[in-house]
Amino acid sequence: MYKFFVKDEQIQKDIITIKNEDVNHIKNVLRIEINENIQICNIKNSQNYLCKVIEENTNYIKCEIIKLISQTTEPNTYIHVFQGLPKFDKMENIIQKLTEIGVCEITPLIMERCIVKLDKSAEEKKIERWRKIAEVAAKQSKRDVIPLINNCTNIKNMYNNIKDYDIVITAYEEENEQRVKDVLEKYKNLENLKVAIIIGPEGGISAEEIKELRNNNSKIVTLGKRILRTETAPIVLASIVLYELNDI
């Protein structure tokens, strides 16, 4: 069953009105007809509804609420990935896959060895596109929230953001001993944890940055004997975190 997101004001009693580009997608791409069922999620509170399409128009589609859906697809663990800004379209793939896994927030991180440099105009266009990719991936994977895609930040500003997290984990290719499993062992029976994950860009994380991360209470971990690409590492690490916390 197809899923769509709406704003709170689009829900009036037992009727939900779908607007904007979703209208064309429903009518002309998916070819959903009157009396077919779809799932609709309120962006504000993540409440899901089973709905029936009752009216189609050029500008809107009206749906009747059949029932509330109580089951959620969201993990108990809140994962925020700080991703060293990569080249080309790698960030798009990272955002898509992290959304599918269940990550709640993603921040592009400007680090010492980042190759890509974005000016303000280019950054705004990229962020807009990345947010759309997250929305589409959330629909496809039947998430109850669309992950937050933040503006780019630098590593020093990041330290203020990670102070309130229960666990901060950094993947580092030169770490050989401490595993993700070791870091998470004492947290396994806890719920509603906030976990920050830090991943370097193509060139990796510099020794000075690792030193600063250690000083800011980040746990430095290995992801195994092989070196992973920057677009592979966050997917692997986020998956391990959810698995080890019994949140898959």
Residues 110 and 203 in one domain: yes
Residues 143 and 202 in one domain: yes
**So what's the pLDDT on residue 63?**
97
pTM comes to 0.92
Residue 2, pLDDT above cutoff 80: yes
74-125 pLDDT, tens per residue?
Answer: 999 999 999 999 987 999 999 999 999 999 999 999 999 999 888 888 899 9
**So what's the pLDDT on residue 87?**
87
- Residue where the block lists tokens 């971990």: 221
Q: What are the tokens at 203?
A: 């060139």
Give Cα 101 to chain centroid, integer Å: 8
Domain count, the chain: 2
CATH number of the domain where residue 216 is located: 3.40.1280.10
Q: Tell me the residue range of the domain where 161 lies.
A: 78-244
Residues 43 and 85 in one domain: no
Residues 45 and 160 in one domain: no
Residues 20 and 125 in one domain: no
Find the angle CA(56)-CA(58)-CA(60) to the nearest 5 degrees. 60
Last residue of a domain, one of 69, 87, 117: 69
CB atoms within 10 A of CB 196: 23
CB contact at 8 A, 60 and 108:
no
181-211 pLDDT, tens per residue?
Answer: 999 999 988 989 999 999 999 999 999 999 9
Residues 117 and 218 in one domain: yes
